Homo-oligomer: A and B are copies of this chain.
Amino acid sequence: MKLKDFAREIGLSPTTVSRALSGYPEVSASTRVRVMEEAARLGYRPNINAVRLATGRAGAIGVVMTKAGDYQFSEFISGMADRLSSEDTDILITPMIGHDPGDELQLYRRLAESRRVDAVVIHSPLPNDPRIALLDRLKLPFIVHGRSVTDVPHAWLDIDNEGAIRQSTEHLLDLGHKHIALLNGREGLTFTLDRLKGYRQALTDRGIPFDPKLVSHGDFTDEIGFRFARSALKQRPQPTAFVAGSMMTALGIYRAARSMNLVIGRDVSVVAHDDVFPYLTAENMVPPLSTTRSSIRAAGKRIADLLLQILAGQQASDIQELWPVELILRETSRPAPEEASV
């Protein structure tokens, strides 16, 4: 059933029906109620494509699937979905084509040109991220999940990566650890740099020298955690503690320690960052893992909310949220073992 038929059916003009259904103020309350009831009864629904063509709105928020196999992705999306379920806005997943950084820019360009999304989310920004400059130029509204360093004013939401890692490192230093390894994210990303900053700051404050051999970069996989932890644990002096970027890398560290007959929480301390996943929880690990915690699901939810605000006219450059991160002590951060002669 189309608007015209429906309107005729209930003896009103298409205009009035459209207004009643869209919540315009100039319709009388009684008419509105009647229209809504009739619509429900007769099962009338506006054709979404017609609405979009007429209004110019796409009714969707775009998310580019940057790379395969990011296990944080679904939690984030799920958070967005949570917020958007009450709106008439969908999430549009656009596959990343090719592998060059240039391909990704091309993708955003096409997304903007095809007008199939009203706004997009940018993940894992670089300092001075070219996507930000591009979207600003294309005038496609966006919000950055994470932070960049750029002159282009824009909306962003980030967790306090620097503070989180500083806290973790300080906590381990408090426990007497002198050789603390850091499993950082992919090189070049802003959050990776922020984490390094937090780590170095904590060391500097205590007068502990920075040793680049104790820092690694890479994706958050169990594999990379395992490899780096093993090689780090073979160094002398042996590190007595790890600050891990994610739950997956922490799993790798556990595995590496076991493979070398070291006991987590006794020989080796670990603090990891936990994005909070329903299927793998820090308190359930053996031993329970000390973490800095920040829900990526909550971030997705809030980001959807902020985008809706931007689309409603809110100034994007006014939106900047830095979320604090909570350090939760469990059983993997323990006093450093006595200095052994190695």
Determine whether the beta carbon of B48 is less than 8 Å from that of A77.
no
Chain A, range 229-261, C-beta contacts under 8 Å to B? 248, 251-252, 255, 258-259
A86 CA to B107 CA, complexed, in Å: 12
Determine whether the beta carbon of A251 is less than 8 Å from that of B280.
yes
Determine whether the beta carbon of A92 is less than 8 Å from that of B95.
no
Chain A, range 76-97, C-beta contacts under 8 Å to B? 77-78, 81-82, 84-86, 90-97
Nearest-Cβ distance from residue A272 to partner chain B, whole angstroms: 14
Determine whether the beta carbon of A69 is less than 8 Å from that of B65.
no
Q: Produce 1/0 per residue, A304-318, CB < 8 A to B.
A: 000000000000000
B-side contacts of A45, CB under 8 Å: 110, 113-114
- A278's nearest neighbour on chain B, judged by CB, is B69
Determine whether the beta carbon of A74 is less than 8 Å from that of B81.
no
B-side contacts of A251, CB under 8 Å: 251, 280
Is A221 part of the binding interface, using a Cβ–Cβ cutoff of 8 Å? yes
Known A65-B78, A279-B248: A223·B49 in contact at CB below 8 Å: no
B-side contacts of A220, CB under 8 Å: 279
A160 CA to B68 CA, complexed, in Å: 25
- A69's nearest neighbour on chain B, judged by CB, is B278
B-side contacts of A286, CB under 8 Å: 255, 258-259
Is A222 part of the binding interface, using a Cβ–Cβ cutoff of 8 Å? yes
- A81's nearest neighbour on chain B, judged by CB, is B95
Is A285 part of the binding interface, using a Cβ–Cβ cutoff of 8 Å? yes
Determine whether the beta carbon of A255 is less than 8 Å from that of B277.
no
Is A297 part of the binding interface, using a Cβ–Cβ cutoff of 8 Å? yes
Is A43 part of the binding interface, using a Cβ–Cβ cutoff of 8 Å? yes
Known A49-B53, A96-B85: A277·B91 in contact at CB below 8 Å: no
Is A330 part of the binding interface, using a Cβ–Cβ cutoff of 8 Å? no
Is A116 part of the binding interface, using a Cβ–Cβ cutoff of 8 Å? yes
Chain A, range 32-65, C-beta contacts under 8 Å to B? 43, 45, 47-50, 52-53, 56, 58-60, 65
B-side contacts of A279, CB under 8 Å: 69, 71, 219-223, 248
Is A75 part of the binding interface, using a Cβ–Cβ cutoff of 8 Å? yes
A22 CA to B82 CA, complexed, in Å: 37
